Structure 1
Amino acid sequence: MRILDRHVLRECGVASALATGAFVFVLVAGNIAQQVIGAVSTGKVDAWQALELVWLLFPTVLPYALPMGVLTGVLMTFGRMGADGEVTAMKSAGLSLWRIALPVWLAVAALALFSAWLNLQAGPDSEDGFQRILVGAAGGNPAGLIIPGKLNRQFKGLLIRAESKEGDVLKGFRLWQLDDKGAIRQTMVAETARLSLSVDANGGSVLRVRLSKARLSARGAQDELDLRPGSFTSADEAVLEFPRDDAGHVAYVKRLRMMTAGELIEAMDKGWQLPPDAPAADKALEVMRLKVQLMFRIATAMSVFSLAMLAVPLAVTVGRAETNVNAAMALGVALGYYLLTSMASWVKVPSLHPEALVLLPNLLVIVIACWLMARASRR
């Protein structure tokens, strides 16, 4: 018995690992092409940060690749075993289809718990870290907003340009400070510069600019048509601070998909984006959104198990050894499941409890799987 269990587990494990790896590769490659390469080419991140971004992609995409990979692996394994007569031979030895599939389902149940951890903790944390690096907000570093060779206008009252960037160091740095009319009051040119967010003695937010080999020129308050030369200053090292009344331009806002399970539950209790005096109807909608997000992640983790349950009777019934047939079947089943889940999440009426509706596709798949298993066992 143990030999048969190990055989079935090994076959399913290898096929599922290969299929999951293929889906992970497709998802990671797509994100690299869409986000990481663009960030590297524009100078938003350096090579080390790009590697970190790629690493952070894996916990983010794995929860979506696991259900598809396990479904495909189980379909391929039991489809081949059914076509080769292995399932029939095991039944002839007195084993039911339920008993043949039991070790696979137990292993997949453990995998579903791992997927739940990815969905509820590791995945959101990785997505959070990924986005923080992309927007340059990790560690409060506004230098991440500077794209080499382009004029930056994201800091109110300042124009910033850098020829190149190595990590947090901006090279060929230029900064122009503008007055209320948009005229240049001060110009700074430096060989290198570092930007950071800080707090002044009064508790106000400031942008701190640390310059090396700098040259500063300034004009007094005068008519913008006055072309008299201003004052010039040179310094090997200089530190300047500019008051920030628009710190939100560089502040990082965590989105719903980046919140862990604990943060979602805390937001349900204390509120998320609405003020304390918001209308009760608006608060109910916000709590509904948080609940749907939490239950959607739980449903995604459950789908690893429910889809694997469905794969066994489907594969045995069809009994095809061809990989492309099983892969196409897996794709069709997964698309149908995700369509049902998406339809449940479209409900925006709190009284209909969309957070519970999100779980219905999993329950439906399990019921269908049990019915098909009963039919396949009688064959």
Structure 2
Amino acid sequence: MIDTDVAVIGAGAAGTSAAFHLASAGHSVTVLEAETGARIKPCGGGMASSVQNWFPFDLSPAVDDVIRRVDFSWCLEDPVVADLPGEAPFWIVRREQLDSLLLEQAMHAGADVLRPSRVTDMQRSGEGWILKEDRGETIQARAVVIADGSGSPWPQQVGIGPRSLHMASTLSVRLEGLGALTPGTARFEFGLVHHGFAWAFPMADGINVGVGTFIGRDVTDAETILSALLPDLGFAADAGLRQQASLRVWNGHSPLHSDGVVAVGDAASLCDPFLAEGLRPALMSGCEAAKHLDRWLSGEERSLQGYSREMRQRWGDSMAWGRRIAQVFYRFPGVGYQLGIKRPTAPRRIAQILSGEMGYGDIAQRVIRRLLLQRS
């Protein structure tokens, strides 16, 4: 049996962030990762540069590009170009490199890693938790961090998060070469996707393209969308490595903790319901969870309620407004594009939201009122 202070289920960005900070604080940490090695993750990879403030080591080895311009379009036409003044609000990272960097730093700080190791059972035992994994190993932990993504069964089993999940459906494509996209430019396409949008983010030697829908459960006719979008980006309609996924989108204030356990990242349903930003809340939640677990393990906090409360203040309150914007915008996307994206201040506002400088609450009431008045 392995005896550890904290068992971390999942070695993605959220789990490794928590593992690094907990190990750095002197706690014994065991990371259980189901995959054998770093797998290609063709997600958007957009990450606010401000997240560097949460880590004492350099994140730049995982950064492929720095976004300085955003191009918007409606059905591949009616373009809006936004140059981002000053310091760019977000980086583009290659997810497999970021995850590997964070895991290496966690291991350097003292965390142990079991890989491949898929957790098959998780039960409360006395003042801790007993986890069993598919190779027959048993882990006894004082606390658990659930960080194994949107498909995780554990949050609902331990009473964490919303009772009913709101899922966004995505199809991501990893492409070699930049095609028609220029370095330092991100692309957002509205109009082609029913109840959603498409994006293209540049990497050092390729592009991550994604199609996502945020009302309903499936990307409607994704291949038809890609057959129009990819040639517009300078690629063959059938090009690229494709990966379908379902994301747990934020859909209401729910506890992110239970007795000695927290959920982080996608397992905690933190994905932005409007722009599908998931990386910043993943890193934020991993760091925040580690802070409160450290205090709880040290006896400074009686419960982990502070983690849920802090994530509500730092992320959830803004997402409540983001969800309302999404519900209106994606039902009336044509009106939304004209009154939202094409307004002179709108691209800058989106950049400020992605950078963390502004929350949806700062703009929501004006945006929703404008959309509903125009629709009526």
TM-score by length of 1: 0.25
Q: More strand per residue: 1 or 2?
A: 2
TM-score by structure 2 length?
0.25
- Structure number, greater radius of gyration: 1
Higher helix content, 1 or 2:
1
